[in-house]
Amino acid sequence: MALTFQVEAVCGNARAGRLVTPHGVLLTPAFMPVGTQAAVKALTPEQVWETGARLVLANAFHCMLRPGAELIERAGGLHAFMRWPGALLTDSGGFQVFSLAELRTVTPDGVWFKAPRDGSRHFMSPERSMAVQNALGADIAMVLDECVKLPASPEQIRAAVDRTTCWAERCLASHQNPAQALFGIVQGGTDPAERERSARALVALNFPGYAVGGLSVGESRTAMIETLQVTAPLLPFHKPRYLMGVGTPADLQAASAAGIDMFDCVHPTRMARHGTVWAEGERIHITNARFREDAQPLDVTCDCTTCARYDRRYLHHLARCGEYLSHTLLSIHNIRTLVRTAERLRREILAGTFQQLCYDRRQ
């Protein structure tokens, strides 16, 4: 079997689990950094590993465009190509196609789109997505889905759910890599009835894991959390649940409380490239003048390499000068912050104190 998952403890709806993949064990709740083009921006695989991350997301859409899935397959697959020793998940490209609204045409068969780099035309069908992801060889692959920007009309949401279900069936039928687990993606906007309709259709297909997609695409944070609270209980208890594209410390806690196990987001590295970090429970901009002579580490509670070796005044200098090293050091800290957040949530669930943690944060 490509993947096994065990729920080790629950506290309210929050779960602590153990996900076993061909390339290692992931203890959940877990945050996975995003390596869109087979690299987490500004970091080596060794630096990512040192943050405690054990699962990285790469994007099949971008890897298909450059350097090409066939080249990566000849190199021994994505793990060998990027020298990553842990588990990998490939996103099908549904969200990227969504983000290219002016460059794509959605049809029942798939999506025609223009590559943003050179304008070349490509067609992504469920079958093509599976062929690409099979070749890349990640531990977890995702079905091709249709994500709609919110707010959307009921007709748009309903059509996206129908297409996502149809494409999921076609992905399942064409998936050919027995060492790779294929996850379904629940759509439905913020409409509880459509979320339920999508979840029931996908659960009937018996995927080894399920993702909640189509959130953090224009809706309020309250609507996102309410949608998670409706959707997560519809998914099989003994299979992993993955919330796509959401990643702040507060969001990890809220999603865990709803019963989500896995998270990914570009937020920590994107923030770092703009000189922003999470430190001691708040967001700070290291380029602010008040940090010019601050000899403290970024966060005295953090055990990352950046906080152990460098102080705020040096990081302030690097960021103000535009040195690429600031991207690296701040990314290490931000990713470690989210990994530590997930580790703490896991400890609280195992100890039976997760609900008290949530209560304390609301005070």
Active site residues: 91, 264
Distance CA 121, CA 108 (A): 18
How far is the CA of 330 from the CAs of 31, 57, 125, 273, in angstroms?
A: 17, 19, 38, 8
Beta strand pairing status for 30-33 and 209-212?
Answer: unpaired
Residue that the structure tokens 């919110």 belong to: 150
Q: Cα(319)–Cα(288) distance, rounded to whole angstroms?
A: 10
Number of helices followed by number of strands (H, E) in the chain:
15, 16
Locate 3 and state its tokens. 């993947």
Instruction: Please give the Cα distance from 247 to 255 (Å, whole number).
Output: 10
Residue with tokens 């299979």: 239
Q: What single string gives the DSSP state of each residue in 14-34?
A: EEEEEEEETTEEEEESEEEEB
User: Structure tokens of 184?
Assistant: 């379904």
In angstroms, the CA 106 to CA 114 distance is: 12
Prior bond of 249 cis (ω within 30°): no
Cα 94-87-85 angle, rounded to 5 deg: 130
In sign, the C-alpha dihedral spanning 221, 224, 226, 232 is: negative
| H or E segment and range at residue 228 | helix 221-231
